[in-house]
Amino acid sequence: MFKRWQFWVGLLISIAFLYLALRGLKLGDFWQAVKTANYWWILPGVAVYFVGVWARAWRWHYLLGPIKKIPTRTMFPVTCIGYMGNNIYPARAGEVLRAVILKRREGVSVSASLATIIVERIFDGVVMLGFVFVNLPELARLAAADSGFVGDLQTLSLWGAGIFAAALLVFLLAAMFPQTTARFGQWFIDRLLPKPLREKTSAIMHKFLDGLASLRSPFNVLMVFMTSVVIWLLETVKYWFVLHAFGLEGQVGFFALMLMNGVVNLATTIPSAPAYAGTFDAPGIAVLMAYGVPQPVAAGYTLVLHVALWLPITALGAYYLAREGVKWSDSLRAEV
């Protein structure tokens, strides 16, 4: 893993973001903020977060419904394993890991699972951008007072909206016109790939298109979108609970936390070292500082929030992975 160029690129990006997050930080003041926080507030935050994880498992169960009906209680451990993998491995390898685990348990093809997972990510991106756009008037005010990272958010949001809207449109069209999409894909496969790879690639394409079946119904699209909104609102509630641990509830409101949630999660789509080091922290601190939170307190809050988001789901996912009988040294490539 350490020899892969993706890892080193991600590491360099994380170092750059951490530099932006921590430059000028007074460690004594930072430690004081962390030391005096009331950590009891994290417990209800973790509880709410796991309700959100259950909602994620339900959404995945719903997307996979046309392929195979799998209970949410079965999907929940696999979902935890996937998010654990995202937190530990680079390049969001946890998405492939949970698709492989689901294939082992339920016989669903990896290609079909990955199609539903990509759909999840597109809807997540749309909701995150929605959180940003809901706060555009506030964002404009912050941008006027800040010429740095926050000042660039409006432009980045517009670009992001275009990218996610285009991706969603492509997937909706592929779902609504599967036969046309398959013929179009086969045309490229026949002309661009050598003969030994064509049959396998074509089979993967058809299984992938099967994974988009849930998007053929407008009602299903609405259900997935509304579930995605609920998921990210629940995560924002966790931000709100951790905010109370630092006594910032009178300074930073819920809509500001929605903005922060949208910004940091869009930033974590950038390649980085495992655990989204830096790409989560730098934008989070920047948004809080734009609301007038001192840098040491903003850094302390963002660090504690990051750990509170990372540790519980990673520990539970590791437990479920061990229960599956999968070892860290096992190679799962052959099952993809």
Per the structure, the count of domains in the chain is 1
Mean pLDDT (the chain) is 87
Instruction: Give the burial string for 322-336 (b: 16+ CB within 10 Å, else e).
Output: eeeebeeeeebeeee
| C-alpha to C-alpha distances, 35 to 29, 46, 163, 303, nearest whole angstrom | 10, 20, 41, 12
Residue range 53-73, pLDDT digits in tens: 999 999 999 999 999 999 999
For residue 123, the model assigns a pLDDT of 92
Q: Give the tokens for residue 189.
A: 């496969």
Please report the DSSP string for 3-71 in residue order.
Answer: T-HHHHHHHHHHHHHHHHHHTT--HHHHHHHHHT--GGGHHHHHHHHHHHHHHHHHHHHHHHTTT----
Residue range 252-310, pLDDT digits in tens: 999 999 989 988 888 888 888 888 998 899 889 988 988 889 999 999 999 999 999 99
Rg (CA), the chain: 21
d(CA 249, CA 120) in angstroms, rounded, equals 31
Residue 17 lies in a domain: no
Residue 132 domain boundaries: 27-327+330-334
What band does 159 get if pLDDT is binned at 50, 70 and 90? confident
Residue range 13-53, pLDDT digits in tens: 889 988 888 888 999 999 999 999 999 999 999 999 999 99
Contact 113, 70 (CB under 8 A): no
Residue 129 lies in a domain: yes
Vertex 97: Cα angle to 329 and 178 (nearest 5) = 150
Dihedral sign for Cα atoms in the order 88, 322, 54, 120: positive
For residue 147, the model assigns a pLDDT of 45
Residue 22 lies in a domain: no
The count of C-alpha atoms lying within 13 angstroms of the C-alpha of 237, restricted to the half-sphere facing its C-beta, is 16
Q: Residue 291: which residues within 8 A CB-CB, separation 6 or more?
A: 142, 251, 252, 256
Residue 80 has pLDDT above 60, yes or no: yes
Residue 2 has pLDDT above 90, yes or no: no
Residue 46 lies in a domain: yes
Phi/psi of residue 245, each to 5°? Answer: -60, -25
Chain length of the chain: 336
For residue 293, the model assigns a pLDDT of 92
Residue range 302-336, pLDDT digits in tens: 999 999 999 999 999 999 999 987 765 555 555 65
d(CA 57, CA 288) in angstroms, rounded, equals 31
Residue 151 has pLDDT above 80, yes or no: no
Comparison of pLDDT for 5 and 149, the residue scoring more: 5
Residue range 192-244, pLDDT digits in tens: 888 888 888 888 887 888 888 888 888 999 999 999 999 999 999 999 999 99
For residue 156, the model assigns a pLDDT of 64
For residue 327, the model assigns a pLDDT of 61
For residue 223, the model assigns a pLDDT of 94
For residue 154, the model assigns a pLDDT of 62
